[in-house]
Amino acid sequence: MRSIFVGLTISMSLAAAVWGPASAQNSGMPQVVRGASADSSKSSTAKPAPTQRAAASRSAAPQRQTPQAQRRNAAQPEALRGSRYGGFAPAPSGPPPVLDTTSPRTLSLVNYNTQDVLTVTYWSNGAYHRQALDQLNQFLRDTRENQATEMDPLLFDVLWHTTRIVGYSGSIEVLSAFRSPSTNAWLASVSRGVARDSQHMNGNAMDIRMPGVPVYQIRQAAYSLNMGGVGFYPRSGFVHLDTGPVRYW
Q: Give 9-41 pLDDT, tens digit per residue.
A: 444 444 444 344 433 344 343 332 222 333 333
Asked whether residue 212 carries a pLDDT value surpassing 60, the answer given is yes
Task: Give the pLDDT score at 191.
Answer: 75
State mean pLDDT over 174-199: 84
Calculate the alpha carbon distances from 99 to 96, 103, 126, 221 in Å.
Answer: 9, 10, 14, 12
Task: Give the pLDDT score at 69.
Answer: 53
Question: What are the boundaries of each domain within the chain?
Answer: 105-248
pTM to 2 decimal places: 0.64
Is 121 in contact with 106 (CB distance < 8 Å)?
Answer: yes
Asked whether residue 70 carries a pLDDT value surpassing 70, the answer given is no
204: Cα separation from own chain's centroid:
15
What topology is assigned to 105-248 in CATH?
Muramoyl-pentapeptide Carboxypeptidase; domain 2 (3.30.1380)
Cα-based torsion angle of the residue sequence 100, 218, 238, 113 in order, rounded to the nearest 10 degrees: 30
State mean pLDDT over 135-140: 97
